[in-house]
A and B are shown apart, each in its own frame.
Chain A
Amino acid sequence: MGYKAMIGLEMHCEASLTNSKVFSSARNSYSVTPNENIRPYDMGFPGVLPVVNKEAVKMALKTSMVLNCKQPEYMYFERKNYYYPDMPKNFQITQETKPIPVGIYGYVDYECNGEERRVRVNNIHLEEDAASSDHLYDTTVIDYNRAGNPLLELVTEPDFRSGEEAESFLDHMRCVYQYLGVSECDTKKGHIRCDVNVSIIDESLDPEDPSNWGTKVEVKNVNSFGGVRECIKYEIKRQTRAKEEGTYDTEVVQETRRWDEETGTTISMRSKVDAVDYKYFVEPNIPKYKLTKEWLDEIRASIPELAYDRKKRYMNDYELSEYDSNILVKEKKISDFFEETVKLGADPKEACNWVNGMILSYLNYNMITIDEIFMTPEMLRDLIKLIDDKTISSKQAKDVFAKVLEDKKEPMKVVKDEGMMQITDEGSIEGIVDEVLAENPKAIETYDPENPKALDFFIGQVMKKTRGKANPGMAYKMMKEKLDNLKK
């Protein structure tokens, strides 16, 4: 008998692009120096009170709208009570589904392997992040920089059927968050963390009927998209094997597991019986407040062009291929870089080739982001222009590109300093061509005008003399004319 999987995700995304934290005026900024961005609130000193960051609420509502969710009439926050050293107040201010959070009951359409899919969204809510802990050999150190950063938790219905679907959805959402200006979604900075719920069900049964559902296993804190995909694959395999071996009821229990990246397996953390009672209640220090229609309309109007629309525009207006367009829009900052280059006057197709080719491979090879590369859209525009007006050859352009990044110099300067300007002056080229002809009488004797390769030797000599700077087209044309005349 076959089985199908029912997979739900809880995707935590840090809204990294607000100025300050969600309930305190400390800076929301990733920092390598521990405990740099903190205010009394973030460390839970006696007497501190939360003050809601309007910008964070706005971002949350924007996301809620893009997810086709219903927005609440009133904003509430709730307290979730539990003790953990990464949370100094020992309660987290968050939102529960009752009363409704920033968004409830929506859906997202996304693509997986070129096919359109839809996942239902149970809810999205705004909460404060915990501090980050570093577990050293015999001690743990806590860094409160992250404590109190705005965190958006998106909870889907169990609509995914495979690890690939879940991964595609995460890719899609990363795009959404980046385009909305909510988050950089940098997994290296821990901006995205996922909890994964997996259960399996006999293929013949109706997944809409809860009585058919299998035992739900939760895998906590999976911090990469690949990890999500792999841990789902592993869980499906584990649960299916248990079904086939008849050990499902004892082996697959309602529990929380964690993903172990090194072994590629999930490991049991605690059973649901030990589940914490979070003792939720409405946060008394934040008065509930009405979301006016005007404000919601204003927020809706501020939603920018998202990746999907951008992709369509690239295909229609710039006649780029779907493949290229997909690559360009995947990271908003890459797409922005491309757009800026085009806006500055570069040809879209050439700009696309450079961005998707040289630039992306440079970023990947050096493991940096587009913010960190020395090349700017202006420089790329200049580089493309240098080729277009034949100042340099496209082969030279690649060297210029490398030099720009290596020496941190602008393309124009590289070309000048390296003496890379092509010789396009007819008189100069003629002089060199004549020199070459005068120096190689033997070669002229054996020259066969019918053989297309026969010219190569002469052109090679021209290039040698000019150290590659002679315009190849002009040199070729002139050389052929002269040789053909000599042979007549």
Chain B
Amino acid sequence: MKYMNKSLEELHEMLKNGEVTSKELIEESLKISHEVQEKYNAFVTILDDAKEREVTDNILSGIPCGIKDNYSTKGVLSTGSSNTLKDYIPFFDATAYAKLKEAGAVMVNKTVMDEFGMGGTGTTGHTGIVLNPWDKTRMCAGSSAGSACAVAAGVYPYATGSDTGDSIRKPAAYCGIVGYKPTYGMISRYGLFPFASSLDHLGVLTRNVKDAAIVVDNMKGIDKYDMTSWDSSKIHLADSLTGNVKGKKLCYIKEICDITEYENPSDELKEHFNNFFKAIAKAKELGMDVEEVSIDRTLLNALASVYVVISCAEATSNMSNLTGIIFGPRGEGKTWDEQTKDYRTKGFSSLIKRRFVIGSYVLQSKNQERYFRNAQRVRRLLVDAWKDLFKKYDAVILPVGSGPAKHFEGDNDMLSKETVTLEEHLQVGNFGGFPSITIPDGFINDLPVALNITGNCYNDETVLNIAYALEGTMNYKGQIAKEVK
């Protein structure tokens, strides 16, 4: 690997100086793509015919990247990692991808995900499971599993992702890289296959904070095709990374971060928190105030259920368009409803079907008040609790998950009651549409672990600058996965 382990700025410099050409970068990226595909199964499609692009003043020009397979890409297979769309070639681009293309970016592959973004394991895609490039017996988490795997393995400097619960930020953590989802609506959702519209965000996975800022600078912008997008032309993410965070105020939540809150904490968990508090100490050294705050445990305990109810409800409706009548393989049967039933029965994995059943159940008029409406109310309470914190603090800083990547087998798939909030708190970032970034903060048994920084809506610059400063105090910036097993 000569180039693909480098940062965007380094590559841009080399392209400008004529040390390397766009063509050579693409060739290397494609070569590694095939190796990574062989080893970890990270791609739905590898674009062997990807063409070099002219190098302009845009940092992204001529540089290869990966696009998650739920981005609609004109003329290129876009499956959402689902059998229901296994042959679907869109005739229009997602706005975010169109913007990257305009910047001169070169898509070299489409990355595997959990089917339509539903799932956090990278194991439910129709092309098979994605393996963690640090340890093949472990998962990448999901749903942006292929993107996280590929960036960590050094296929290219960045791949796009989408994040409905933690689908960018959790895989980034498990793969030892950076995962950033900006404020809701900063990047247009037009052309992103929807999972849960009120929670869906687009974002990016990179190996350093600045690259994340550069890529999102190029993806964002108001879009006439997405009414929830907003004008962010005054926000310049990459330019705002000064590294000066003196006087910024951070907080962490006692109910999540205090080891005494857990009855029989594992050594792994202790070490995870240890890493986290080392990072907190570094934050203080940078001149930031960090305080412990408390949030009602009852409210925190409701977090995961709120997510299930709202995301399943919206998903079941959003994915009703998948019938195989207008696009997708036509199901068998004599009538349209028989054909639709056959197509959906055969096309969706059992996990998705389970979620559709939950979604339909909570929306039924007899259940809606008890489940869906209550979930919306608790969502509001949680968002308000975080917004209260943002009145006093610039960001909330928390550990991601309960440790390093989980095994495919052995680790209990069901969330343990104790660590459920620890595992799922990133979802608050989706409830509130908050800008949120995950960066690696250490290793446990040679496997990466991470922390997350989440700030108030529209404060993306502050959140990124804090992450950027903190990243500078640690040694994990730009790291490429080293297989331990």
Contacts and interface: CB of A to CB of B under 8 A. Distances in A.
A48 interface: yes
B88 interface: yes
Contacts of B127: none
Interface in B171-199: 189-194, 196-198
- The dominant DSSP class at the A interface is loop
B275 interface: no
Contact of A49 (B91, B198, B227): B227
Contact of B227 (A51, A88, A89): A51
A277 B372 CA distance: 15
B285 interface: no
Contacts of B337: 83
A89 B318 CA distance: 8
**Chain B interface: which size bin?**
35 or more
Contacts of A277: 364-365
Interface stretch (A281-289, A305-313, A325-333, A464-472): A281-289
A360 to B, nearest CB: 45
Contacts of A278: 365
A284 B195 CA distance: 12
A424 interface: no
A45 B91 CA distance: 10
B326 A88 contact: yes
A213 interface: no
B301 interface: no
Interface string B276-310: 00000000000000000000000000000000000
A28 B327 CA distance: 24
B264 interface: no
B311 to A, nearest CB: 11
A88 B327 CA distance: 10
Interface in B13-72: 72
B325 interface: yes
A277 B316 CA distance: 14
Nearest to B372: A281
A344 to B, nearest CB: 43
Contact of B313 (A44, A48, A83, A281): A281
A52 interface: yes
A46 B317 contact: no
B323 interface: yes
A237 B466 CA distance: 77
A476 interface: no
Contacts of B326: 43-45, 88
A278 B320 CA distance: 13
B113 interface: no
Contacts of B313: 281
B363 A46 contact: no
A34 interface: no
B227 A47 contact: no
Nearest to B228: A287
Contact of B80 (A46, A50, A286): A46
Contacts of B363: 81, 279, 281
A442 B325 CA distance: 91
A284 B372 CA distance: 14
Interface string A271-312: 000000111110011110000000000000000000000000
A279 B365 contact: yes
A299 B340 CA distance: 44
Interface in B188-213: 189-194, 196-198
B223 to A, nearest CB: 9
Nearest to A50: B227
A79 interface: yes
Nearest to B339: A85
A277 B366 CA distance: 9
Interface in A72-121: 79, 81, 83, 85, 88-91
A278 B360 CA distance: 10
B365 to A, nearest CB: 5
A47 B320 contact: no
A40 interface: yes
A335 B365 CA distance: 48
Interface in B373-395: none
Contacts of A90: 320-321, 323
Given A284-B197, A285-B197, A47 B317 contact: no
A23 B322 CA distance: 20
Contacts of B262: none
Nearest to A279: B363
B374 to A, nearest CB: 13
Given A277-B364, A279-B363, A285 B228 contact: yes
Interface string B217-238: 0000000111110000000000
A51 B228 CA distance: 10
Residue of B191, B317, B325, B372 ringed by the most chain A CB atoms within 10 A? B317
A56 B72 CA distance: 29
B364 A81 contact: no
Contacts of B227: 49-52, 285-287
Nearest to B82: A46
Residue of A44, A48, A81, A279 ringed by the most chain B CB atoms within 10 A? A279
Contact of B321 (A46, A140, A281): A46
A275 to B, nearest CB: 10
Contacts of A51: 224-227
A40 B317 contact: no
B369 to A, nearest CB: 12
A46 B91 CA distance: 11
A458 to B, nearest CB: 80
B323 to A, nearest CB: 7
Given A46-B90, A285-B227, A287-B228, A89 B320 contact: yes
A45 B191 CA distance: 9
A85 B325 contact: yes
Interface in B55-103: 72, 78, 80, 85, 88, 90-92, 94
B314 interface: yes
B336 A85 contact: yes
Contacts of A81: 316-317, 320, 363
B7 interface: no
B202 to A, nearest CB: 11
B73 to A, nearest CB: 10
Interface in A21-56: 40, 43-52
B368 interface: yes
A40 B320 contact: no
Given A281-B363, A285-B227, A47 B193 contact: yes
Contacts of A79: 317
B378 to A, nearest CB: 16
Given A44-B326, A46-B90, A52-B227, A279 B193 contact: no
Contacts of A286: 227
Contact of A46 (B88, B228, B360): B88
Nearest to A41: B225
B253 to A, nearest CB: 27
B364 A47 contact: no
Residue of A48, A50, A52, A280 ringed by the most chain B CB atoms within 10 A? A48
Residue of B80, B197, B225, B337 ringed by the most chain A CB atoms within 10 A? B225
A160 B24 CA distance: 78
A44 B196 CA distance: 16
Nearest to A86: B336
23 contacts: A45-B92, A45-B321, A45-B326, A46-B78, A46-B80, A46-B90, A47-B189, A47-B190, A47-B191, A47-B194, A48-B190, A49-B189, A51-B225, A79-B317, A81-B316, A83-B340, A85-B336, A88-B321, A88-B325, A277-B365, A280-B365, A284-B198, A286-B227
Given A81-B363, A286-B227, 17 more contacts: A45-B92, A46-B85, A46-B88, A49-B226, A50-B227, A79-B317, A81-B317, A81-B320, A83-B320, A83-B340, A88-B326, A89-B321, A90-B320, A279-B317, A279-B368, A281-B314, A281-B372
Interface of B: 72, 78, 80, 85, 88, 90-92, 94, 189-194, 196-198, 224-228, 313-314, 316-317, 320-323, 325-327, 336-337, 340, 360, 363-365, 368, 372
